Amino acid sequence: MDIEAGNDDTMSDIDVIEAPSPAQSPRLKREASEDDTPPEDIQNPKRPRLDLLSRSPPAYAEQPDAGFNPDRTLSPAAEGNAGRDRETQPPRSESPGERGPKRHPKYFYEDGSVVVQVEQTLFRLHKTLLSVQSTFFRELFADAQHHATEFAIDNGASLPLYVLSVDGLHVADFERLLEIMENPLLISRAAESPSLDFVSSVVLATHLLKFDIIHAWAAEELHGYWPSNLDRIGDEPDDWLLCVEYASAALQLSRDAGVPEIYKGAFYELLRRESFGQDAAPMINNADYNLLTRARQLCTTVWMGIISKPFPRSRVCKDNEKASGEKSTCVARRNDLLYYKWGTIVDNTKARDLWMDPIAGFETLRGIELPHEERNGLCASCLNSWKVTWKEKKVEFWGQLDGILDGTHVEA
C-alpha cells in the first residue's frame, strides 16, 4: 500500500497556504452542442486549435527529479518516473524551525470525514466519495494493517489522517484531480477543453490513484492534443509556443500515466521539427531520441523516393489513347518530357524541403495545380492517378512509423 502514517502526535492549528495560480497552457475548442450552455465564468473567446502559451514549462514537468541516471538524458518530466513502483516513501525528517504541513485553502471541507496529506499539504475530503471513485483509496481505507494517524479538529474530536507517498504524485496534480471531481460538468461542458497542463496533471493523478473513470476521460481529452489518427494530423507543424517542450514531456507522460495512445502524435510533432537534434533543450531520454533518429531516416528514404521520379503513365490514359485511335497529348506519354515536367513541379513547390515531414509533403503535392493536357500537362486520368497514389503513400508511410515505434503506442 502506498501510504505511510504520519507521526503519532496529533496535528492541529495548521497554517493555510495560498493556492498556486494555474499557468497558461494550450487548449482545444470543443464541438458546439445545442444542449451545451457554458457558464460565463469559464467561457473563453473563440480561439484557433491551440492557444499561445506563456513561457512556462508543462505543469507535469515542473517537479524536481528524484535522481539522475547517467545513461539517460531527460527532460524534467521524464526523470525518476520510469516504472512507478509506488513504493512507500518514509516521512522526511523536519529540520529545526521548519514549518509543518499546511491546510489547503480550498480543499479542506468543514464536513470532510478524512484528512489526506500529499507532500506538505493537507486535504480534508469525503471518504465515501474517494472510495466510490478510486480503487486506490477503497483498498487503502479497507486495509486493516495500515492504521491512520489521528488529526485533531474542533471540540476535541479527530479524523483519520493518511499521508500519501505515491511515487510521482505531487500537490498540483492532486489539486486538479479534486477540481474535476468537484465540478465535472463545469469542466467537461466548457466551450474549450481544459488546458493541456490541467489534463496532463489529471491523467497522471488518476492513473497513480486508480480513478479509472476520470482517467478514461482525461486520456480522451489528452488524445485530442496528440492524436494518432492520420486524418487528425495537421498538414503543418503546430505553431504554438513551447510545442516542442510539451511534445517532449508527452512522450514520457504516455508511459507514466498509462496513455500510450498519445505517443505517436507527440512523437511526430517532434519528428517534423527542423530544430530536432540541434537544441540542447528540451531533453528526451536516449530511447526516444534513438527512435526519432531512426524515424527521420525513414522520412528521408520515403520522401526522396517520392520526389526523385514521377509516377508512370496511368493505365486509363493508355486505354483511352488506344480506344480513340489518336495519339495522346498527355505529357506522361513521353518519359523525357515527363521527367522534365516533374522536375519543374518539384522545384516550384519546394518539395525537397519537406523531407522531414512527409505528411505535409504529400498534402502539398495533392494540392498543387498541375498543367492540363492541352497545355503540355497531364491528362485528367494521370493527374487523378497521381493524387490517389500520393494519398496511398501517405497512409503507407504512417503505417511504417509503427514499425519504428514497435509497440510504443496504441492506435485509438
Q: pLDDT tens, 329-381?
A: 899 998 998 998 899 889 888 888 999 999 999 999 988 877 776 667 889 89
Q: Where are the domains of the chain?
A: 1-9+62-90+99-178, 179-297, 300-403
Q: Is the pLDDT of residue 271 over 90?
A: yes
The C-alpha atoms of residue 111 and residue 124 are separated, in whole angstroms, by 8
* Confidence (pLDDT) at 17: 39
Strands 3-4 and 158-164: antiparallel
Q: What is the mean pLDDT of residues 77-98?
A: 40
Q: pLDDT tens, 158-191?
A: 999 999 999 999 999 999 999 999 988 867 777 7
The C-alpha atoms of residue 65 and residue 235 are separated, in whole angstroms, by 36
Q: For 203, what's the count of Cα atoms within 13 Å in the CB-facing half-sphere?
A: 29
Q: Is the pLDDT of residue 80 over 70?
A: no
Q: Is the pLDDT of residue 291 over 80?
A: yes
* Confidence (pLDDT) at 162: 96
Residue 199: burial class (beta carbons within 10 Å; 0-12, 13-18, 19+)? buried
Domain 1-9+62-90+99-178 belongs to what topology? Potassium Channel Kv1.1; Chain A (3.30.710)
Nearest-10 crossing angle of helices 286-307, 358-367: 30
* Confidence (pLDDT) at 282: 61
Strands 102-108 and 121-125: parallel
* Confidence (pLDDT) at 19: 38
Longest dimension (CA), the chain: 104
Give the cell for residue 151. 488529526
* Residue 387 contacts residue 393 (beta carbons within 8 Å): no
Which residue bears the cell 452542442? 33
SS3 percent helix, strand, coil of the chain, rounded to 5, is 45, 10, 45
Instruction: Return the DSSP state at 332.
Output: G
Q: pLDDT tens, 194-242?
A: 889 999 999 999 999 999 999 999 999 999 999 999 999 988 887 766 7
pTM: 0.74
* Confidence (pLDDT) at 211: 98
